[in-house]
Amino acid sequence: MRRLRILVQCSIPFRADDWHVGRFSSLVKTLRGLRDEDGVPLTDVLARNRSQTDGGHDPVLASLSRLTFDEVWLLGVDGGDGLDELECAAIDAFQHEGGGVLATRDHQNMGLWLRRLRGVGAAHHFNREDCREADPSRWCHDDVDTRSIDFPNYHSGANGEPQRIEPVEPLHPLLLRPDGSSIEFLPAHPHEGAVAAPPEDERARMVARGRSQLTGRSFNLLVAFERGGEFRGRGVADSSFHHFADYNWDPAAGAPSFVTEPPAAGLGQYPRALEEVRTYVENLARWLAPGD
């Protein structure tokens, strides 16, 4: 069987003091370490930052095709304008052809360009007035400790802590442990973004929710999109790229200097949680794989 070809794509060019793709090395290592029951590697992984040609487009994203990749994991680590319309159109075409797409971002308007994507992009809600959550009571700070960060900013815990999640029934394959039980933990973050299943999209369903450690308010973590309609590929909208960042698995890995909240000790103090994060990554890779 051919290996799954996975593109892990950060939405910014390399900047040492930022969320470049090197800060997601544990995610990449986990993906590259996946094996089948005979010990044969399952994946080929390309991890990269955004780059630009003379025309201003990223050469890999603008020419994205099922001929070269099976899955794209989009990390919206920018301030809002990371990918352009041509690149987003190529991602839509890729999913139309059967490719799997993971789309994740963070608080306020980080990764706002995701709204340009059809299907999976509509699951992401931001601070901008025309793409906020449907409930106006949520248009307020949840995390009140870092006042410079506006809503949505759900406080699931400190960086380096696990957050206990609530699976949405029926249990989705993304949350299945090898023994058939449910994943209970994902990495926490002080200000996660907002996702919701678009009511007009029959392919979309909620997978898991979290709970704010400051307000007690429940919030959505994961939305999954089945194959169907114009898209032959699956998709997942994840509320925060911090579920995949080295810093949230182990704060000793370091973070950009603009991260000022005190971290916890790290998931190494919680062996089951760390195991479950890796299981979630494997589940994503397997579930997003094209049907062919």
- pLDDT score of 1 more than 90: no
Q: What are phi and psi of 35, to 5 degrees?
A: -135, 155
Q: Express each pLDDT in 113-172 by its tens digit.
A: 999 999 999 999 999 999 999 999 999 999 999 999 999 999 999 999 999 999 999 999
| Cβ contacts of 99 within 8 Å, gap of 6 or more | 64, 66, 69, 70, 71, 72, 233, 290
CB 216 within 8 A of CB 157: no
pLDDT at 174: 98
Strand 4-10 to 71-75 pairing: parallel
Average confidence (pLDDT) over 176-182: 97
CB contact burial 247-279 (16+ within 10 A = b; e otherwise):
bbbbbebebeeebeeebbebbeebeebbebbbb
CB 194 within 8 A of CB 119: no
pLDDT at 280: 98
Q: Express each pLDDT in 251-286 by its tens digit.
A: 999 999 999 999 999 999 999 999 999 999 999 999
CB 108 within 8 A of CB 273: no
CATH number of 4-287: 3.40.50.880
| Cβ contacts of 1 within 8 Å, gap of 6 or more | 36
Query: What are the residues facing 204 on neighbouring strands?
Result: 225
Enumerate the domain spans of the chain: 4-287
